[in-house]
Amino acid sequence: MQCTSTRGAGPVSLAKALAEGLAPDGGLYVIPLDARPAVTLGTTLAETATTLLTPLFQHETLDAQALCHAAFTFDAPLLPIDDDSFLLELFHGPTAAFKDFGARFLAEALSRLGLPPTTILVATSGDTGAAVAAAFHRRPGFRVVILYPDGRVSARQAHQLGAFGDNVRTFKVRGSFDDCQRVVKEAFADKALVAAHGLSSANSISLGRLLPQMAYYAHASLVLQQRGLGPIDVIVPTGNLGNALACLMAKRLGLPIGHVTLATNANRVVPDFFSTGTYAPKPSVATLANAMDVGAPSNLERLRHWWPDEAALRREISADWVDDETIRRTIGTVWRATRTAICPHTACGVAVRDRLRAKGHTKPLLIAATAHPAKFETVVEPLIGQTVEPPDPLAALLQKPAIANPLEPTLAALTAALVRRA
Ligand SMILES: *Cc1c(COP(=O)(O)O)cnc(C)c1O
């Protein structure tokens, strides 16, 4: 598969695009999105993923089947929440959020590329760091350095981030997520530092995370089509647009997916872009759905590349946003109606469904459930009046001791920390 940059560089092989992450011209790698021979439904997610991704990995050194079977070791089940709405549960992986799918696939791909010793450096607002740490934990040839903003992630998220040990080192940064991201960007801009430590990124702009995320939309849409419910309309809770783009890419590759609605929290840059046609990034504001607190969604560059025509964009895709009060109310109403606990991010999607229904949308809907509610128990439990038990992998991590060293938000402090090999 030939990949090009949204800003023109390339073409390069998929393997090279995965190894590089960001294109050398500062753009994001994209692939051509033409409808392909029909993808067939496999008996497992790994099988569907293999039929979906194999054509993309033709003439590549990487074997799609091996990658899919190593990465997709857990399912993405459908849970009906009423007669014609389904949650797509994406939180059955090791860190209980959808990012496990992409992180595990990328880690497997990078391992098989035989890179020189590599340090994966990540700034995280909560979920990415844990998924990346879990995916690279104890992988020979890799170490992981995580920066998270001290006091601004949930207690359980903080514990998860610090609980890996071995080749994973975790730093709590005195500052905001933006400070963490700035220091990481400064590190990647320092050529000598990058060379000295083999610095590499695993953030959501990597094609290696985007491509595998298409698999669960492919699998779910084919299952629903088999039940006579296709093409299915989908709602995706959205921050940096990675998960949503995966759904849109699957649709363009010919899967039975109908209209796609993006649901953001009060960080409404994407819905504002849809209604005004102008992209106006803003500093992020803190919300209950903290993994979606993004004020400058970098993947928007890909959306505009693949949907250059705004009329076509609006025909196929919509966007709406949800405030914290609505998130709270929705968690409560879903619990009372179905006894299903949902996380605050998933609640944004369900709230948007409620609005679509109120406006007369009657077709079945699929809503991506992006994290397990036990990850956000301090928000969810008081609203439903119940404790939410963590799933086994999360419970196991929470049993382990957690270590995070404090770090000042400066390149000098990070450089010193990188040299002190644990
Ligand atoms: C990362 C994340 C999101 C947002 O996903 P994007 O790909 O950035 O749009 C939503 N929910 C949860 C739980 C997440 O961890």
Q: Could you read off the pLDDT of 237-267 as tens digits, one per residue?
A: 999 999 999 999 999 999 999 999 999 999 9
Residue 268 pairs in a beta bridge with none
Q: What pLDDT, on a 0 to 100 scale, did the predictor assign at position 7?
A: 95
pLDDT of residue 203: 74
**CB 95 less than 6 A from any atom of ligand 1:** no
228: how many CB neighbours lie within 10 A of its CB?
A: 7
Q: What is the CA radius of gyration of the chain?
A: 20
Q: Whose CA is nearest to atom 8 of ligand 1?
A: 240
- Inter-CA distances, 102 with 93, 118, 292, Å: 11, 18, 17
- Domain ranges (residues) in the chain: 75-97+209-391
Q: Whose C-alpha lies nearest to ligand 1, atom 1?
A: 291
Distance CA 418, CA 288 (A): 33
Instruction: Return the amino acid letter for 23.
Output: A
Q: Is 223 in the pocket of ligand 1 (CB under 6 A)?
A: no
The CA distance from 245 to 298, in Å, is 12
- Provide the terminal-to-terminal Cα distance of the chain, rounded to the nearest Å: 39
Q: What is the DSSP string of 184-221?
A: HHHHHH-HHHHHHHTEE--STT-HHHHHHHHHHHHHHH
Nearest-5° Cα angle at 193, 192 to 195? 65
Q: Is the confidence at residue 422, as pLDDT, over 70?
A: no
User: Could you report the per-residue pLDDT of 14-40, keeping only the tens digit for each?
Assistant: 999 998 888 889 899 999 998 777 899
Q: Quick one: pLDDT at residue 59?
A: 87
Q: Which of 70, 125, 76 is nearest to 103 (CA)?
A: 70
For residue 45, give Cα distances in angstroms to 33, 51, 154: 21, 10, 30
**pLDDT per residue as tens digits for the range 100-124:** 999 999 999 999 999 999 999 999 8
Q: Among 98, 100, 235, 290, say which to mutate for ligand 1: greatest number of ligand atoms within 8 Å of CB.
A: 98
Q: Provide the token pair at 202.
A: 């695993």
- Give the number of other CB atoms < 10 A from CB of residue 413: 16
Number of neighbouring beta carbons within 10 Å of residue 340: 18
Kindly report, residue by residue over 174-227, the tens digit of the pLDDT: 988 888 988 998 998 899 999 999 998 887 788 999 999 999 999 999 999 999
Q: Are strands 29-30 and 2-5 parallel, antiparallel or unpaired?
A: antiparallel
pLDDT band at 12 (very low <50, low <70, confident <90, very high): very high
Find out whether the beta carbon of 241 lies less than 6 Å from any atom of ligand 1.
yes
Which of 345, 377, 379 has most ligand 1 atoms within 8 Å of CB, for mutation? 345
Ligand 1 atom nearest to CA at 345: 11
What number is the average pLDDT over the span 170-177? 92
What CA–CA distance (Å, rounded) separates 347 from 53?
Answer: 30
The finding on whether 89 has its CB within 6 A of some atom of ligand 1 is no
75-97+209-391 has which fold? Rossmann fold (3.40.50)
Predicted pLDDT at 176? 84
User: For 44-97, how does the pLDDT look when each residue is reduced to its tens digit (9 = 90+)?
Assistant: 999 999 999 999 999 889 999 999 999 999 999 999 999 899 999 999 999 999
Q: What is the pLDDT of residue 17?
A: 92
DSSP state of 97: B
Distance CA 403, CA 302 (A): 37
Instruction: Give 206 Cα–ligand 1 centroid separation in angstroms.
Output: 15
Type of residue numbered 399? Q
What is the pLDDT at residue 181? 85
C-alpha of residue 246 to centroid of ligand 1, in Å = 12
What share of the chain in percent tops pLDDT 70? 100
* Residue 145 φ/ψ, nearest 5 degrees: -120, 120
> What are 146's strand-pairing partners?
122, 170
Determine the distance separating the centroid of ligand 1 and the alpha carbon of 305, expressed in angstroms.
Answer: 21
- Answer yes or no: are the C-beta atoms of 374 and 381 closer than 8 Å: no
* Element of type H or E holding 415: helix 411-419
Question: In sequence order, what DSSP letters do the residues of 120-176 get, joined into one string?
Answer: EEEE-SSHHHHHHHHHHTT-TTEEEEEEEETTSS-HHHHHHHHS--TTEEEEEESS-
Ligand 1 centroid to residue 196 C-alpha, Å: 32
**Could you write out the DSSP letters of every residue in 295-334?**
SS-TTHHHHHHH---HHHHHHHEEEEE--HHHHHHHHHHH
Residue among 91, 100, 204, 240 whose CB has most ligand 1 atoms within 8 A, to mutate: 240
